[in-house]
Chain A
Amino acid sequence: TVGCVVVDKEGRCAAATSTGGLMNKRSGRIGDSPIIGAGTYACNLCGVSCTGEGEAILRATLAREVAAVMEYKGLRLQEAVDFVIKDRLDEGKAGLIAVSTNGEVAYGFNASGMFRGCATEDGFMEVGIWE
């Protein structure tokens, strides 16, 4: 699974996710990536893209959950990401990337590693795989 989340200079957020799904999956199986609110979500607060065990991400409506705890619990972006990865996945293994309308970027995962990269306009840039 691959994904990208962006907030532009006007503060507009967007998210996109694309995948081949699970190796050896049954034909016709649909995962989290095309399901809005599960693998992909964007609103006027944030943009989120998820990856990992699709069934766990679907049950957790993981991407929307990040926006929801920002909206209703007033969490900042990284706090929201940490909260949903820690408290919403049950035994599932997953990871996600997110941006917020005020130019923050965040990620989190409980699987063994996640291929990710992030950058902000003030010059920050990071590419990593492990914790």
Chain B
Amino acid sequence: MGGWAIAVHGGAGVDPNLPLHRQEEAKKLLTRCLNLGISALNSNLPAIDVVELVVRELETDPLFNSGRGSALTEKGTVEMEASIMEGTKRKYGAVSGVTTVKNPVSLARLVMEKSPHSYLAFAGAEDFARQQGVELAENDYFITQDNVEMLNLAKEANAILFDYRIPTTALDSSCAAEVDNPMLMNGLPISVYAPE
């Protein structure tokens, strides 16, 4: 039997020209979440509690695409989804289409432990959230200015973007590459598109 191990992620598909300061912000958040998980593991918390604890932290911080800071639908709203699974008995819980739940991963865990089901979505998930008394917020709590700008870019390009974090329009010095190579497609920096 080995010791404990932990890994976290904040999304794949990163714009190669992401400004350095945003790269540092991301690394700081990842390190903070790792340390949160490590101290929980050293206090003998079970794995299921640790993954929930760490993902809640990631949902609450607006930097990555989840919880506050979630990507926006074509209507400019937020529809979040999450799941959690524990390996020993392979129990799991999942939610989709939640719009007011501050920590969707905790609602997913309640589905696993407090309901006869494994997956609740949209209105059913929202009703269950109210029954369970989880923390709620208006939909605009989850919407950040960065993502409103990203949505506008995506609409201009008539594109669907996954976890790209493209720099805000005011390019700063560390985006020199972009300025030197302003190759655009549909008015967007070419780096926004998934490599073909």
A interface list, Cβ under 8 A from B: 1-31, 33-36, 39-47, 49, 51-54, 93-107, 109, 111-122, 125, 127-130
Is there an interface contact between B162 and A22, defined as CB atoms closer than 8 Å?
yes
Given A20-B71, A36-B94, A43-B87, the answer on whether A115 and B26 have CB atoms closer than 8 Å is: yes
Is there an interface contact between B73 and A26, defined as CB atoms closer than 8 Å?
yes
Q: How far is the CB of B95 from chain A (nearest CB, A)?
A: 6
Which residues of chain B from 9 to 46 have any CB-CB distance to chain A below 8 Å in the complex?
A: 9-16, 18, 23, 26-27, 30-31, 33-34, 37-38, 41, 44-46
Is there an interface contact between B147 and A42, defined as CB atoms closer than 8 Å?
no
**Tally of A-B Cβ pairs under 8 angstroms:** 348
Is there an interface contact between B162 and A54, defined as CB atoms closer than 8 Å?
yes
Is there an interface contact between A22 and B161, defined as CB atoms closer than 8 Å?
yes
Instruction: Identify which of A24, A53, A119 contacts B194 (C-beta below 8 A).
Output: A53
Is there an interface contact between B151 and A14, defined as CB atoms closer than 8 Å?
no
Chain B contact-residue range equals: 35 or more
Given A17-B83, A24-B151, A34-B95, the answer on whether A93 and B4 have CB atoms closer than 8 Å is: no
Can you list 17 A-B pairs with a CB-CB distance of less than 8 A? Answer: A5-B6, A9-B41, A14-B87, A18-B66, A27-B73, A30-B121, A34-B96, A36-B92, A40-B83, A42-B85, A45-B87, A49-B9, A95-B12, A96-B9, A102-B1, A105-B6, A117-B33
